[in-house]
């Protein structure tokens, strides 16, 4: 089933995204701007593919006459034979779990990014003040 394959692909790619977000977090903590750039560049195409697949899943649900909501997914699962239903439910729960983990990491990274930006601004302003003070002392 195409829907199951898409869910499995999403799980793999969200696992990859989780690793990228963890590496991004480490780069913030280590003040490694180059690593941050690399991780953000790896993240962007992955997010695009995940968004595209989510849109495809929405279309598939609507084609089946189901709403693109958690209730729609549950209705779809209920219509499946028991063995397939169980497999799909397990995969869906795994996908939901990794999405929650990525959201939490992303939120924490956002806080680190803000702190990193504030620190850079302070350093920049501090060096400008020292430069101005040094210039005044030379006069």
- pTM for this predicted structure: 0.82
Q: By residue range, what is the domain housing residue 125? A: 2-138
Our measurement of the distance from residue 86's CA atom to the centroid of its chain's CA atoms, rounded to an integer in Å, reads: 27
DSSP 132: H
CATH code of 48's domain: 1.20.58.300
Q: What is the pLDDT of residues 80-121, one digit of tens each?
A: 999 999 999 999 999 999 999 999 999 999 998 888 778 778
**What domain count does the chain have?**
1
């Amino acid at each position: 089933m195409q829907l199951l394959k898409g869910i499995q692909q999403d799980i793999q790619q969200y696992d990859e995204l989780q690793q990228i977000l963890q590496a991004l977090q480490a780069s913030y903590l280590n003040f490694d701007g180059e690593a941050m750039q690399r991780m953000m560049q790896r993240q962007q195409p992955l997010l695009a593919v995940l968004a595209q697949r989510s849109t495809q899943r929405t279309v598939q649900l609507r084609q089946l006459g189901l709403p693109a909501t958690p209730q729609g997914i549950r209705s779809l699962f209920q219509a499946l034979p028991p063995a397939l239903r169980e497999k799909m439910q397990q995969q869906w729960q795994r996908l939901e779990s990794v999405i929650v983990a990525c959201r939490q990491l992303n939120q924490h990274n956002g806080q680190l990014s803000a702190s990193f930006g504030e620190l850079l601004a302070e350093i920049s302003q501090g060096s400008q003040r020292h430069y101005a003070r040094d210039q005044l002392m030379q006069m």
